[in-house]
A and B are shown apart, each in its own frame.
Chain A
Amino acid sequence: MERLAADERGPWRLALSRFLRNRVALAFLALFFLIVVFVLAAPLWADHVAHTGPNATHTLEKLQVGDETREVVTPAGLPIGPQWFEAGGKFFLGADSRLGRDEMVRLMYGGRTSLFIGIVSGLITTLLAIVLGLLAGYYRGWVDAVIARVLDVIWSLPVLLFGIALGISLAVGGLKIGPLEISGGSIWIPIFVICVFTVPYMARPLRGEVLALREKEFVEAAVAQGAGPLRIMFAEILPNLASTIIVFFALNIANNMLFEAALSFLGAGVQPPNSSWGTMITVGEQLLNTQPLLAIIPGTMILLTVLSLNIVGDGLRDALDPRSKVRLEAHAGMVEPKGTTV
């Protein structure tokens, strides 16, 4: 009876109810939203609590904490540690370096940058992968050969090394392709680099699914009704890829954030003085011996964000395509596949 009722609710509502039953995924979704709210609140914290911007330097400034005067940066070049609320919220997490920038403000603004890059590059990657996957899988033949080989070539590259090389060269010289012009320090440079190197990871599996779907009866029916290629690709095949795309998109954001952090850590991503969690780890790493929190905190933020996106992605996959979980578990020898269950 329950199975019949579920079927009546339609696939999307059914998926939603499955997702809502996954408490771990829900908890991490809530964590992700908290992180988003945290970074969106950056201007509020900067203006009303810290009273400073993310790139403002305070090298020679002093803080008055009760009767005590504390230097933001000591003459020996050591930045002040976390003040929590002792200084009214100023330098809550201390100063980031000898430049005396507020670590908390940079953490919040840096998070906006990291999330922005992750989400935007995830969107662009997803769109590109959909188009390429549909074209290659639907048309097959030389179109497929060209697209698939290009994707293969990109796939075979040592991604991080090429990403660093491309990121550094573009960070210095900028990018100009026809009307598209991006200046060197723009955050669109790491977005571009990430998109170039991550498209194959989504386009290849999508192409495989399209190849399978185009042989299905509903596609033959659409052809028989006189539907053109565009209609078949976008109205018939694409909706059947929705669950895969949603899952990939969530995982893409997580992977792209990691990629951005790696690029920025190595100087090929977000360019100073702008902050991202990756650049903050680079700055913090220099003071690892004396102020380990400067590297640990942004690192933890990356960990929590990526972990939450991965778990939410897994939850979405389980909700949208429960068979995949069963297949995976069967593959791992955990349970015997028993056919379709709800």
Chain B
Amino acid sequence: MKKRLAGFAVLSVAALISVGLAACGGSSGGKEGGILKITYASFPDYMDPQLSYTAEGWTAMGEVYIPLLTYRGAEGKAGSEVIPGLAKEMPKVTNGGKTYTMFLRPGLKYSNGKPVKASDFTYAVERCFKTNSGGSPFYTDIVGAEKFSETKSGGIPGIETNDKTGEIKINLVKPRGTFTNELGLMFVAPVPPGTPDEDLSANPPPGTGPYVITNSQPGRGWEYERNPYWAKANSKAMPEYPSGHVDGATVTIIRNPQTQVNDVEQGRYDWMQNPLPASRFQEVKSKYEGTQFVERPTISTYFFWMNEKAAPFDDQKVRQAVNYAVDPAALERIYAGTLTATQQILPPAMPGYKKFELYPHNLAKAKAMIREAHPSDMNITVWTDTESPNNEAGEYYEGVLKELGFKTKLKILNADNYFTVIGNLSTPDLDTGWADWYQDYPHPNDFFQPLLSGESIQPTNNYNLSQTENKQLDQQMNTLAEETLGPEQEGQYAEMDKAYMEQAPMAPYGNRTLDTFVSSAINLDSIVYNETFFEHLTSFEFK
């Protein structure tokens, strides 16, 4: 399932209780202890809090790296609320929305026993820029961050910290209405100073959450153990955060989803993290819904991106023709009932969503538009990943392009590194391909800035896959990002959605549902799921 997504950090038991959801504890009547056996279909893009930008990564690390702020561990709208994480309370916003001040909770420790300091936040933000993280564009409004992103040296003067008092003051060059949400992302979760500025997937840095990752073997799996300093220090400093029920977990990568389903059915594994394969979805749903299986809507958009920087997709007419040619109804069927057709960027549950359909399926019209556009280059490479049904969506898309007269080559990459490869601008033949996007935070900016802002284009870990750069819409996006989201702004985001789709940098085709499938040994009712962060490891318990 690789998806660009968001997710992050974790949390909060008391909060869960307060919203009446079973979060962690004895109320659900489960057993404490035990080792959970989990299977993923692919290894996360990175096992590194500053770098990961996929569902797998954020699910895997959500209970390990806690940012200063985080999201409430609850389903639906309740899960969209930003709450304090390592910070004592929500930031005080002053100076016309340009200064954020908060304090670190006292007594926090990393899993290696070293104390968490306020300046570690600065280090995390700098590391985010030094590693060219895909999340770094969220923080370029911090004073000095833009320059730091280029020079990678000299520090970020806009972040002032005091290790004695725990004070963290962040100065922005202009107000940013989404900044509270962005402080809750794992990209800026504190890590110990001196953590190398490189991908640490094989040796993840110490974290602050209730679990610690051990024995990470990229491509194969990893293990969780309880953070020895959680009980001693952090749980006392942040008592509302769930400590988790299981003593640990082992995660094994099993690339065949059929095997995963069989293994979970027969109790060899307790939970498969990725969605069920489309071919088994209805069967499992009918057999286990309510007992071992649950399906939930998500705030996501699945789409085909088209690289605007090179022929043939540098021509708006060609991109529009592709939108006419792609039939979301066919893709609904390919996703076997787990996807609802769409033709726009914002998903239904996102503020600002207003339904429109600019490109009703019309292959004849699409062919005529291609003839009219007469592209200079008809040879294109189509990219997708190996996970079903994304691979089939890619095959379908390649067939559509072929029908339009293009000479196509289909490249299907392992899901482990799909986004890393297509996010590297030096990869040759990045013409068009499949992608998806899950909300990082419940704000429409999250579906525009990372995916479509010219400022988000970067040489590696690039998520503006169509390499769209529209100065007028960029300006509008930046202006809107400064404002607090209200009905007026939502209306403007709806217009922006339409304006981008007129430019047609992508061909959106659906909003997905996701499922949770566990073995009969697991208490399904206790599992906490967050729209942006998915299943929380701390909520799993044995019956």
A residues in contact (CB < 8 Å) with B: 55-57, 59-60, 73-78, 97-99, 168, 171-172, 183-185, 267, 271-273, 285-290
Q: Which of A185, A287, A288, A289 makes the CB contact (< 8 A) with B411?
A: A185
Q: Given A77-B278, A77-B279, A272-B391, verify A98-B258 contact (CB < 8 Å).
A: no
Say if the beta carbon of B282 comes within 8 Å of chain A: yes
User: 9 smallest A-B Cβ distances: which pairs?
Assistant: A77-B336, A59-B330, A286-B279, A98-B334, A76-B282, A273-B395, A77-B278, A287-B279, A59-B333
Say if the beta carbon of B280 comes within 8 Å of chain A: yes
Q: Which residue of A lies closest to B261 (CB)?
A: A289
Q: B281, A77: Cβ atoms under 8 Å?
A: yes
Say if the beta carbon of B327 comes within 8 Å of chain A: yes
Q: B258, A285: Cβ atoms under 8 Å?
A: yes
Complex-state Cα separation, A286 to B261, whole angstroms: 11
Q: Which of A60, A168, A271, A290 makes the CB contact (< 8 A) with B333?
A: A60
Q: A286, B334: Cβ atoms under 8 Å?
A: no
Q: Which of A59, A76, A285, A288 makes the CB contact (< 8 A) with B396?
A: A59
List residues of B (386-411) whose CB comes within 8 Å of A's CBs: 386, 388-389, 391-392, 395-396, 398-399, 402, 409-411
Q: A98, B411: Cβ atoms under 8 Å?
A: no
Q: B386, A286: Cβ atoms under 8 Å?
A: no
> Which of A59, A183, A290 is packed against the most chain B CB atoms within 10 Å?
A59
Q: How far is the CB of B107 from chain A (nearest CB, A)?
A: 49
Q: Which residues of B contact A55 (CB under 8 A)?
A: 399, 402
Q: Which residues of A contact B231 (CB under 8 A)?
A: none
Complex-state Cα separation, A288 to B389, whole angstroms: 16
Q: B392, A172: Cβ atoms under 8 Å?
A: no
Q: How far is the CB of B172 from chain A (nearest CB, A)?
A: 41
Q: Which residue of B lies closest to A56 (CB)?
A: B399
Query: Digit string of B226-245 for contact with A (CB within 8 Å is 1, else 0)?
Result: 00000000000000000000
Say if the beta carbon of B413 comes within 8 Å of chain A: yes
Q: How far is the CB of B51 from chain A (nearest CB, A)?
A: 22
Q: B278, A98: Cβ atoms under 8 Å?
A: yes
B residues in contact (CB < 8 Å) with A: 258, 277-283, 327, 329-330, 332-337, 386, 388-389, 391-392, 395-396, 398-399, 402, 409-414
Q: B410, A98: Cβ atoms under 8 Å?
A: no
Q: How far is the CB of A75 from chain B (nearest CB, A)?
A: 6
Complex-state Cα separation, A78 to B392, whole angstroms: 14
Q: Which residues of B contact A287 (CB under 8 A)?
A: 279
Complex-state Cα separation, A290 to B280, whole angstroms: 9
Q: Which residue of B lies closest to A184 (CB)?
A: B411
Q: How far is the CB of B414 from chain A (nearest CB, A)?
A: 8
Q: Given A57-B330, A99-B392, A272-B412, verify A75-B337 contact (CB < 8 Å).
A: yes
Q: Which residues of A contact B409 (CB under 8 A)?
A: 183-185
Q: Which residues of B contact A289 (CB under 8 A)?
A: 279-280, 283
Q: How far is the CB of A186 from chain B (nearest CB, A)?
A: 9
Q: Which of B277, B279, B402, B412 makes the CB contact (< 8 A) with A267?
A: B412
Q: How far is the CB of A149 from chain B (nearest CB, A)?
A: 32
Q: Which residue of A lies closest to B417 (CB)?
A: A172
Q: How far is the CB of B460 from chain A (nearest CB, A)?
A: 18
Q: A98, B280: Cβ atoms under 8 Å?
A: no
Q: How far is the CB of A162 from chain B (nearest CB, A)?
A: 17
Beyond A77-B333, A185-B410, A273-B395, 12 additional pairs, beta carbon < 8 A: A55-B402, A57-B399, A59-B333, A60-B327, A74-B333, A75-B337, A76-B281, A76-B337, A97-B392, A98-B333, A185-B409, A272-B410
Complex-state Cα separation, A285 to B258, whole angstroms: 8
Q: Which residues of B contact A74 (CB under 8 A)?
A: 333
Q: Which residues of A contact B333 (CB under 8 A)?
A: 59-60, 73-75, 77, 98
Q: Which residue of A lies closest to B383 (CB)?
A: A172
Q: Given A267-B386, A287-B279, verify A57-B412 contact (CB < 8 Å).
A: no
Complex-state Cα separation, A98 to B332, whole angstroms: 10
Q: A60, B392: Cβ atoms under 8 Å?
A: no
Complex-state Cα separation, A56 to B396, whole angstroms: 9
Complex-state Cα separation, A208 to B277, whole angstroms: 51
Q: Given A285-B258, A286-B388, verify A272-B395 contact (CB < 8 Å).
A: yes
26 contacts between A and B (CB under 8 A): A55-B402, A59-B396, A60-B327, A60-B329, A73-B334, A74-B333, A77-B282, A77-B334, A97-B392, A98-B279, A98-B333, A98-B392, A99-B334, A99-B396, A172-B411, A183-B409, A184-B411, A185-B409, A185-B410, A271-B410, A272-B410, A272-B412, A273-B410, A285-B258, A287-B279, A289-B283
Complex-state Cα separation, A60 to B363, whole angstroms: 14
Q: Given A286-B258, A287-B279, verify A99-B395 contact (CB < 8 Å).
A: yes
Complex-state Cα separation, A97 to B280, whole angstroms: 13
Complex-state Cα separation, A60 to B399, whole angstroms: 14
Q: A286, B337: Cβ atoms under 8 Å?
A: no
Complex-state Cα separation, A251 to B240, whole angstroms: 69
Complex-state Cα separation, A73 to B330, whole angstroms: 10
Q: How far is the CB of B266 from chain A (nearest CB, A)?
A: 14
Q: Which residue of B lies closest to A267 (CB)?
A: B386
Q: A98, B389: Cβ atoms under 8 Å?
A: yes
Q: Given A77-B282, A285-B258, verify A59-B334 contact (CB < 8 Å).
A: yes
Complex-state Cα separation, A334 to B529, whole angstroms: 69
Q: How far is the CB of B253 from chain A (nearest CB, A)?
A: 15
Complex-state Cα separation, A168 to B415, whole angstroms: 13
Q: Which residues of A contact B279 (CB under 8 A)?
A: 77, 98, 286-287, 289-290
Q: Which residue of A lies closest to B381 (CB)?
A: A184
Q: A273, B398: Cβ atoms under 8 Å?
A: yes
Complex-state Cα separation, A267 to B391, whole angstroms: 12
Q: Which residues of B contact A288 (CB under 8 A)?
A: 258
Complex-state Cα separation, A153 to B479, whole angstroms: 64
Q: Which of B336, B389, B410 makes the CB contact (< 8 A) with A76?
A: B336
Q: Which residues of B contact A97 (CB under 8 A)?
A: 392
Complex-state Cα separation, A76 to B338, whole angstroms: 9
Q: Which residue of B lies closest to A55 (CB)?
A: B399
Q: How far is the CB of A251 from chain B (nearest CB, A)?
A: 31
